[in-house]
Structure 1
């Protein structure tokens, strides 16, 4: 053991004694992290042992959680550290001691007197920022979570029993899921339920409607933006949906509307588990479970060359077809009763049961808008009519078209292209709904049984102005 009389330790001790009025306590250890010297103040902090009784002991035997050995072994200083002695908090500095050759021969530590009061404003500011960050994280975790689970998926028909079986299976495996079905069949609700049944239930659920994102912004929405990537870009990085969904689930609605160029980058992300933000050449690792959905015939699009075959195979591991409402024999009564309860609760009125005639009228309808249309019809019945029950006439009134279809809705004589005829009918119905709503897109979307984002996407597809209200 190096002696306290060693000139190098004596010089360190002399320096500490010169500033004794500014420090609470001081410690010297040798190259083996054994105590060489404690100041009187340090001995007082330790409870008043005699210096002779502690000199030569390993520092941890005197100060159990001391980090002096770390300074000796690494040669790196600890300029600032806050430690607790009983009820007191001290600001401590630890420095290595070196000989003329630069070799570490020990370490010195001292605590500044009255240092914590000067640091209190900084500590309070840090505490405030930490609390604010915790609140923001809590809000984010609340908004990025599932809203539905398997109990929300109603249906006793054979088709829905198959959906329920596949939903449970999707919760057990980690493979991508592809949801297929017409608009309004409940694909997003099923995606939420799959996430809720999976091992990622406590991680984020992030949804993005591909059809609602302008093509020139899609890459930024998916993969994020690096600081200053373009003129006007923020100085802080903006995460994309993949980063937000890290360790959770990313729901890609209307995947069939994704441009072919972005499909290639999406495929690479799914294969490699990495994203490259716009304006950056740095890759970021992401762990995301994909659930994709579409109302378009992806297999036909693959054959036509408008959807990448390799991406289709990557997504189509576990596919679940959601049946249209017209194929769900016996489910309309269950769903209508649920929508009556929900609508009554939102209106703050008693539940109005359906008469047998009203239910028969619902079951006679072919439901081109599927479950979403049924929910809309029930809400219309509550909004338009009064009475203890919902009558057949109330349903008929809600199902009645807003007006006669324009002549342009009919296919041209001799037309044999079914897709073109359907597209023409859809365009005409959207134009008519906009006209009936006086250009109000929210109201037009309600009349058509669509979400506003879906309406905007269809308007762009048919060459109609799609600027938000």
Structure 2
């Protein structure tokens, strides 16, 4: 009796026996077990697991890297990090398996390997749990995406594509703005990429890890615009949130506030905005206390603010405060040389954002786009490219594809192709040659005779461009233009 008591009361003996019992129980109850050493080589596999692994004998697994036995196994990660993966679903041979993986330690608690158990090859009982986990993961991804879209800037200067003089100048000034915390005024036609450049400035600045908050001033009702910008104190008025609400300036504190269509801001709010820019403090609606804020303001407009000042609809003092550094974004029609690169970037973005075929813009397609004057600028170009891609069965976008979808009236801005006399049938090879010749001429005209630029527009090499010029007997510009 005394011997039995001493054995039962010996903690180390009980602990050691518990470990042995646990392993024996798991091995007998599970559908398979496998262990590896610190280097990821298999040191143990039980007989029950051989069938699932498509092995005939244990010796076929011993000493081999775990990935040769179980492709994409996570066992090596457990052995390297010492972190267990207590419950997971693994596919092996097309079958889902419920598994657990744990590190193996020596007497000094050093990780010397890992062991994995297949707990079950039937996951029906776990389907409610799996479905719940999948839903939670989906909700988390959606929440992260919404938060990311609302509070962070995605674009960098690499996304503002182009090397022509107008774009290069805008980039150069934007780079200077990024190095300072000055207020910036972006001006340009609608669709020229003002918010993209604002995000790029933010991401290149010391505020990059702080919020980027974008507000379209014209989209906020006049009755709500003050509370949207400066927030509401708790209990400020009937129906207000009892806890109050932060405005855009508080939300953007430490970061950047982008005010799009600043020219549409009501006069009464312009006074308050001026004070924020001067004093760096806000006063929420219904409060008599001011709060300090540290926000860089980037404003944007597609109207002539100086004209608005002259008309009395925009405060002169606010205009001068906003116009510390002014950056003019050129319209797309003035950046013809950048059209191939801009189209390529837009097509990549469109393809990655939807279930589209891989797209290719043909020389005829590019020529058609180059002859249009793009009143809606890059935003309109993206719309046209996406529409053409939706209607295309091959993803090969030609001039005919764009001729069918460009806005009514575009015909006057796009040179009509030469037509054969009524009733005449032109051989295909002849028609194709004529089309290719006209494409070369169009590219040269768009590039002002610059061979390198014209070749870049057509996405071919200079050597190929020269060969095609010679093929059709077209004049080569003098050396000063190449």
- TM-score band, normalised by shorter chain: 0.5 to 0.7
Aligned partner of 1:349 among 350, 353, 356: 356
Q: Does 1:392 align with 2:399?
A: yes
2: CA distance between counterparts of 1:403 and 1:328?
A: 19
Larger CA deviation: 337-346 vs 195-204 = 337-346
Partner of residue 239, structure 1: 246
Partner of residue 160, structure 1: 167
2: CA distance between counterparts of 1:232 and 1:374?
A: 45
Residue 329 and residue 271 in structure 1: after superposition, are their counterparts in 2 closer, same or farther (change >3 A)? same
Aligned to 1:216, the other structure's residue is in SS state coil
Partner of residue 190, structure 2: 183
Structure 2, unpaired ranges of 5+: 1-142, 412-482
Structure 1, unpaired ranges of 5+: 1-135, 405-469
- Retained in 2: the 8 A contact 1:249–1:288? yes
Deviation at 1:167, TM superposition (A): 1.2
Partner of residue 147, structure 1: 154
2: CA distance between counterparts of 1:197 and 1:167?
A: 9
Q: Does 1:174 align with 2:212?
A: no
2: CA distance between counterparts of 1:316 and 1:279?
A: 31
Deviation at 1:156, TM superposition (A): 1.4
Aligned partner of 1:310 among 313, 317, 320: 317
How many residues of Structure 1 are paired with residues of Structure 2 in the alignment? 270
Aligned partner of 2:258 among 245, 251, 256: 251
| Structure-to-structure mapping, 1:43-82, within 5 angstroms | none
2: CA distance between counterparts of 1:271 and 1:357?
A: 54
Deviation at 1:176, TM superposition (A): 0.2
Q: CA RMSD in A?
A: 2.2
| Structure-to-structure mapping, 1:56-455, within 5 angstroms | 143-401=150-408
- Retained in 1: the 8 A contact 2:372–2:410? no
1: CA distance between counterparts of 2:207 and 2:148?
A: 13
Aligned to 1:156, the other structure's residue is in SS state coil
2: CA distance between counterparts of 1:288 and 1:376?
A: 33
1:281-300: per-residue Cα shift (whole Å, max 9, x none)?
11111111010000010011
2: CA distance between counterparts of 1:248 and 1:393?
A: 47
1: CA distance between counterparts of 2:318 and 2:396?
A: 50
- Retained in 2: the 8 A contact 1:141–1:204? no
Aligned to 1:398, the other structure's residue is in SS state coil
TM-score (norm 2): 0.54
1: CA distance between counterparts of 2:227 and 2:342?
A: 39
1: CA distance between counterparts of 2:149 and 2:193?
A: 22
